[in-house]
Amino acid sequence: MYEIPTLDTSYQKPAAIAVLTSGGDSPGMNPAIRGVVRAALHQGIKVFGINKGYSGLIIGDMWEMNSASVTNIVQRGGTLLKSDRCLAFKDPAVRHQAAEILREKGIEALLVIGGDGSLTGAHLLARESDIRVLGLPGTIDNDIYGTDDTIGFDTAVNTALEAIDKIRDTALSHESLFLVEVMGRNSGFIATHVGIACGAEMIVVPEYEVQVDAISFQLANNRAQGKGSSGIIVVAEGPVPGLTYNLARQLEQHEQKPKVCILGHIQRGGSPSGHDRILASCLGASAVDYLCAGYNDIMIGVRQGKITETPLQQVIEKGKQLDPALFQRALLLHK
């Protein structure tokens, strides 16, 4: 369980708040919504759920939630409130319209559950209006600065592992090589953690240049020396579509015969793990405590087992980088 900070809640708490989920969905968003709703109702605060993220906010598509609204959702993947990527919210005039809609409904604060793009929108709304805005890190990529863990990351890793354990049966039976693509356009967190946990032969991530010659040499050398092979290379999808297939074609030119398996969006779905349910529930409930203590323009995360807050400006500007030491340790384990 996470260590919860003791906050001064003598600040005048909001009469009503709203919550939305934005960007790519992640397992654990529903427990986070439940945490927000139950904690707010306990404080005597009205809660409005906004449908389809910022897209729903700018047209006023929202409804008042009660305790029953979040019954039996903790085990469900996806998001009860639906989600969307709203390019229109980049327009200051649209954000001004969103703030007006919230004020008209008596809503004084907004909680945003999402990734870096969603939290950028949250920061801009907080800076440009009198609406208090807090963010929660909801993304499977685990690439958000200010938190050791993000809602959905653990489930995504376990989903990929379950799939790879099945793929490995075929890889070993036929002594074949599989390139298994996991999500991660700009981040190698999923690939690195999955690679370590499944005992992959190699890991390819966006943070480091792909060295096809070196990969081919190591594969051939391992076989020549009779070293055991998992038959699995984990590849983060990278920023340009088709990376894994391109890598497969290049390896074929080096006399390798890899098969490609793209896991895709199964990593976003499914019941959240126990870890993600606890993380999301604690972050959701804690966000309400921070609102009642007068906080604004921050993200609620977890560091070293403690619930913490980080200014959204820092979250946006700094970003979170893959630990080079962890990646090097991953490479060592695969030799």
| Token pair listed for 195 | 């690679």
| Token pair listed for 200 | 């992959």
| Residue 141 annotated as catalytic | yes
Residues ≥6 apart with Cβ < 8 Å to 138: 21, 23, 26, 28, 29, 32, 113, 114, 115, 118, 150, 151, 152, 280
| Token pair listed for 218 | 């190591």
Closest CA to 160 of 310, 14, 265: 265
* Alpha helix positions (H), the chain: 29-42, 53-57, 92-104, 116-128, 153-173, 189-198, 212-224, 243-252, 274-292, 312-318, 324-333
Closest CA to 21 of 139, 184, 158: 139
Q: Are 113 and 21 in contact (CB under 8 A)?
A: yes
Catalytic residue among 116, 141, 143, 289: 141
| DSSP codes, 87-121 | GGGGSHHHHHHHHHHHHHTT--EEEEEE-HHHHHH
Q: Are 131 and 38 in contact (CB under 8 A)?
A: no
Q: How far apart are CA 276 and CA 298, in angstroms?
A: 21
Torsion (CA) 268, 195, 115, 318 in degrees, nearest 10: 180
- Catalytic residue positions? 141
